[in-house]
Structure 1
């Protein structure tokens, strides 16, 4: 079933909104529907794995330099 983990209506943090958008607009369209995978993507803070200079790219579907 294609159910959201969260709804954008209750996300006030811009980073959390970006994470939600990534899951809903990039990951789910690739037919990644396993709940455990989606849940992990929702809780892992990708922005912490990107150099600070590129933190705005953490949720983009592009290669980080």
Structure 2
């Protein structure tokens, strides 16, 4: 068992962790919404072209899965 100060500090840390997790979740949600709107407005081909170009600039491996309609 710990002192009251220790328990209060642990509670404060837990609240901060929750706040950071919520901010992280919110940013991801807003980013994916933005990307979905961008794809809808530009068309997927242009979005994919820019993604390939920009990942190449920062030396990140980009792989696009093929979509088979048959």
Q: Please classify the TM superposition score into its range, dividing by the shorter chain length.
A: under 0.3
Q: Which has the higher helix share?
A: 2
Q: Which has the higher contact order (CA 8 A, sep 6+)?
A: 1
Q: TM-score, normalised by structure 2?
A: 0.26
Q: Highest Rg: 1 or 2?
A: 2
TM-score by length of 1: 0.28
